[in-house]
Amino acid sequence: MMKYPLLWIMLINILWLPNLNAEPQAPPIKPTMLVIGDSLSSAYNMPSSKGWVALLEQQLTEKNYPYTVINRSYSGDTTAIGRARLPKLLAEYQPELVILALGGNDGLRGLPISQIEANLTEMIEQVQDYAAKLLLVGIYLPPNYGPSYVQQFQALYPKLSEAYDVPLIPFLLEGVALDTTLMMKDGIHPKEIAQPIILQTVWPYLCPLLEK
């Protein structure tokens, strides 16, 4: 070996050189999580980075769940608008998991329960036909809408959850809606300081879907 030091150095260098002809490995593609909702999920009247959906994406990263979160929640959206938008969103983002958080604006407008149910049903079926996992998010209405309408509205989400065997968050604003320090002056939208609380409400229902 000592007689041919230069030869051995050249041989070692060749053995340790990377294979320049090998194709570079693409980074793994993260699965997509699609959130489709209204102003309660769109970081209404605050920076988008402060909303519960953005906080969710941060928590997913911290807990090593490799998801890309796409938030397609818009203030004023109803179930009819969501139903119309959903096919394109599914085709565009190909989500592995969908969080469906619509219906509040329908209820506040006093739209027929049968119409809300038909729209939510269609969206649930679209997501299931697409073979994505689904988390359904419920919402409550103020009592001044009358006991009959309020009861029918609030019973709708558990009914759909059971019928289609999808997990349900009963009330997105649990622990927030009745606390005036956490709500904006309109009494409908949560403040920025309430967003981590909303995330805490969502997480226990979402986490089992991440483990599957």
pTM for this model (two decimals): 0.86
Whether residue 197 is predicted with pLDDT greater than 90 in this model: the reply is yes
Beta partners for residue 133, in sequence order? 97
**Phi and psi torsions of 115, nearest 5°:** -70, -45
* Active site annotation includes 77: no
* Active site annotation includes 75: no
Is 29-211 in CATH node 3.30.70.1230?
A: no
pLDDT of residue 23: 52
pLDDT of residue 30: 87
pLDDT of residue 29: 77
pLDDT in tens, 134-189: 999 999 999 999 999 999 999 999 999 999 999 999 999 999 999 999 999 999 99
> From residue 204, how far is each of 40, 44, 135, 154 by CA, in Å?
19, 23, 11, 21
Q: Which of 38, 39, 42, 106 is catalytic?
A: 39
Of residues 161 and 11, the one with the higher pLDDT is 161
* Active site annotation includes 148: no
The pLDDT of 128-138, averaged and rounded, is: 97
